[in-house]
Structure formats: C-alpha cells, structure tokens
Amino acid sequence: MTSYTPPLRDIAFVLDEVSGYPELLDTDLFGHVDGETVTMVLGEVGRWIADVVAPTNADGDQIGTQWQEDGSVVAPDSFTAAYKQYVESGFGAIPFEPDFGGGGFPWVIGIAIQEMLTSANMAFALCPLLTQGAIDAFLHHGSDEQKAMYLPKMLTGEWSGTMNLSEPQAGSDVGAVATKAEPVGDGSYKITGQKIWITWGEHDMADNIIHLVLARTPGAPPGTRGITMFAVPKYLVNEDGSIVDEVNDISCVSIEHKLGIHGSPTCVLSYGDNGGAIGWPVGDEFTGMRNMFTMMNNARLSVGLQGLSLAERAYQQGLEYSIERKQGTAIGGEKGVQSSIIDHPDVRRMLMTQRSWIDAMRYLTYTNAVAIDRATSATDADARQAATEVADLYIPLSKSLCTDLGSELTSMAVQIHGGMGYVEETGVVQHYRDIRIGPIYEGTNGIQAADLVGRKLPMRGGNVVLEQLAGFEEAALELGKIDRLAAFGANLTESCGIAREATAWLLENGPADMNDALAGSAPYLRLLGTVVCGGLTAKAALTAQAALDGGASADDASFYEAKVISAKFFGEQLLPSINGLLSSVTAGSADLFALSAEQLA
C-alpha cells in the first residue's frame, strides 16, 4: 500500500480545540499568523505529501540509499525528485524566522507538517528533521555571520544539516568524545576524528551539508565540560554564500545496514584524513554540549512524533485491509458467508486500541509543541517559566511513550493483517521495522526515563508534576457529570492518585539512593505518560461532547461522536493499565542487582 491520507480533520481538532494553539495567535510573536491561512497551508502541504512523498516510501525500503566506492551516497531517484519539489515548495521554512526567509509560524505548525511528512516516508523525513535541528542551533548559538551564511539556504532545504555526537567509543556517553579541533589561527579549526550514526551525513539530494560536530580543543577539560560545537560544511562557503568547488576533508567511510529506514543513510564520517576538515565554532568554547541540547530537545519531540506518524500510517493500512479481507463468519452473520475481519471483536479491539492511542499521542505531542511556542512567545517572565516547565516535563514523555507505542501499534497492524502482514509485499511490516529505531534515537528511552526522574520530576520539588495532575483531576470531575463518560472520570481520578503516590515515593527515596529511582524510572515514565495522555484525552472528550451538545452539524457531529467514543475507550480500557505499574516504580533496585552477571548467564 503506497497511499496515505493526511488526517487533516484530526490535526485541526487537536490544534484548535485541545492543544491551546489559538492562544498563540494573540501574542506579539505570532499575531501576524492567520488561522484560516494555516488551515489552507496544511491542506496544501498534506495534498503534496500524499501525492509526491508517500509513493516513495517503498522505494526507500526496497532500493535504499547506496554507498559508492568514492565515498558518495546516492538516494533513490524518487527521493531526489521529491526533495527537489520540497525545496521549491518552501514548506521547510514555515516555522522559522522571517529574517532568514521563514514564515514565522508557531513551531506546532511545523510539527503538524512533520507528522504528515513522517507518516508518508520516515526515512525521507529524517533529512529535513535533522536540518531543522541544525537551524535551531544556529538561531540560538550561531554568530550573525553564520546565520547570514547558512540559514537562508538551510531553511529552503537547498543545504541540509546534521548532528555529529556519537563516536565508536562514545555512543550515549557524549563525555567520551575524542574528536579534536586544532586552531588554525584565523578563527577556523582543523577537525580530526570519526563520527558514527550520522543520519543523512552524506547524500546527493542537497547542494551542501552543514555538519554540526562536537570536538575538543587543545587543553579542554575532560567530560562534557570540555566539548565545543563546530560548523563543518561538506563544501566550504565563500563570504558571498557561494560554494567552493572542493570537498572539505570529510569522507563517508560506510553506511550501516539496518533493520529499517533503509532510505535514510546512517553514515560513518571520517574528519581530517588529509590534514583536517575546516570548521568554525558555533557558540563559545566549551558550550558545545549545552548548545547541542538545543538541537536534541526539539529532536526528541520530533522522534516522539515518529511514533505517532508510523502508528497512523500503519493504522490506515490495517483499517483498509480489515474492511477488504474476508475470513470466517462474524457473530450474527449469515451462515456460510464470509465476513470482513473488521466484524470480528479481536480485530475491533486492535483497531480501537490503535485509534485511541493515536488520538492521545497527538494530544500529547502537539500540546508539548504549544508549550514550546508559549515559552518562546510569552512576554511575562512567570508565564514563560511555566510554559518552559511544561515543555521540559513533556519532552521525555513525548519521546519515550510515543516511540514505545509506535513499536507496539505498528506491530498490532501487522497482527491485523495476519499471515499476510509477515510478508514483505504487503508493506505493513515496513512501518514496524522503520519505527524500531525510535526508542533508541536521541537518547534511548532508558535515558529519557532517567532524565524524567533525575531532572524533570524534581522541578520545584515535584510541583510541576503535581500541578498537571491537579488539572487532570478537575477534568475528571467534569467527566463525572456526563453519564457516558463517568467511568472515564472515575478511572482518571484513580489514576491521578496512583501517579501522586508514585511521584511521592520517587521524591522521597530517589535522593537517598539514585539506583532506586532509576530502577523505577521506566515504569514511572509509562505510568505518568499514560496519565498525562488520559488527562489530555479528557479535555478532548469534554470539548467534543460540548460541540455535540451545542448542535453540531451532521458531518461535525459524526466526527465529534467518534472523538468521544475514542476517548471513552481510552479512559475505560487503556488508562487502567497503569494500575499494575506502581509496584514496579516503588520496588527499588535490590532485586535488579541481586544476581551477579554469572548468575544471569
């Protein structure tokens, strides 16, 4: 199946009625943005993505990118043609600053575009995603000269960008980075070292590739304190922005052979084999790790979005198959006549589980993006701080919960297909293979869980989390006033209580023995993330029910009714899954370390 239908009505619902996006348009920063224009733009982008990008997905998987003996990497022809149109469209510039050719739209609109692009072709979408992260780093930390030189063509996509952290001896342990940067004397540095896992580190779709590289200057202190970020272009750039027709001292040694995302080259890059690749510091010396986190924070939200995007694509495929595929006779069906498998309860269970979680993930990731926009646009210091806290809390939830669910829900789509799902020609298994990198990308989900309990949970003594729970408890009371949502309300109240208990245990016991906190961090992230999704789903249910009570038109009524039923399913059948997680959160670390490595063998 190569078709993909952008869920524009679902996106509009979460934007306009759940995430808080309309409030952004009342701010000075985004006051120029017109809601009707946004709707029109998303519709146009969605149509282009469905028509041009979605059909390339199979090529990416079956043809893949090809490494050549000269170190170049060739993308499938369909990718190159689609990327050329992407550059010409200007879609990549929509959420960035007008000073450099951007549209100045809120980041959440960029997230909506990312969702659709990733659903259409995750491997292809990774190139613009990494470029957007590099743009963000330049905007926050680059010099005026660097912004003027790089950003106009990076916003269009004419030039792409990368993030270079990992090395053979330094994966997630960035403090072990050994790449060297020797000063030349004119403000530039010669970079030598090897970087691995560099997504779209070499390719033939863009005219230039701007690598952001972490390296150590002479005499740098050990660990992350001694790291500086450098801009190292594939082709050096003249002061007027033109490209020097000579490749910088960077070579692609190889690309990885991976489980999925075959259309996205994961490169091993060697810097300085012939004396040193020329690069320039981005930001001050020894601020590289902090500056890189500017890229990584937004990238983590985008990776979480990949879980939503692939789950949506796989759901669409599974739903279509369940309608077309006939097998067995459903309960109450005519004897001897095969029924569509969508009429069987277990298939319905899987479809409803997918649909309800997809809604919830969209509420989470888009609300996360709006919090980032609020932190950027707020003029009041207290409001800016409050929005920053919510954004920071939601990042590990968005990244980890959504990528775990992406793996689970795409697997469910394979299951709906039965034996045909295990056959590559069906195409659904590609989504399952592609998203499996999500829980690993941009800091594994275990690292995200550690970040949640080690850095995010202690914010204001745990009150950032507790304030979120208090808001959800208020929503639960409102649900209790609606007969068909009362059970959801009761479950949400109970779930918030469980989350409070888990939070209190971690706050009390974590400082005494961090191993105890880390032992419970992954189940706590699943627990809290599910409760947050439940609270946001409650808001969506209340909004949809109010629209129904207000006399929505027939078409709108059908849509809102579906949202209420999806929310009801989440609240009654998915939210209670957290009840069994509390004991895992509070168990401590003793049993984890009770067996030696030899005993585990």
Please, what's the b/e burial string for 275-307 (b: 16 or more CB within 10 A of its CB; e: otherwise)? Answer: ebbbbbbbbeebbbbebbebbbbbbbbbbbbbb
Segment holding 169, helix H or strand E: none
Q: 67: which strand partners? A: 73
* DSSP SS3 for 513: coil
Q: 211: which strand partners? A: 162, 232
Contact 119/313 with Cβ under 8 angstroms? yes
Contact 42/11 with Cβ under 8 angstroms? yes
Tally Cβ neighbours within 10 Å of residue 332.
Answer: 7
526/522 Cα distance (integer angstroms) = 6
380/378 Cα distance (integer angstroms) = 6
Q: Where are the alpha helices (DSSP H) in 49-159?
A: 57-62, 77-89, 107-120, 122-141, 144-156
* DSSP SS3 for 232: strand
Q: Which residues contact 218 (CB under 8 A, 6 or more apart)?
A: 182, 183
Nearest Cα to Cα of residue 451 among 403, 534, 392, 532: 392
Contact 241/147 with Cβ under 8 angstroms? no
**Active-site amino acid positions:** 442
81 CB-contact burial (10 Å; exposed 0-12 / middle 13-18 / buried 19+): middle
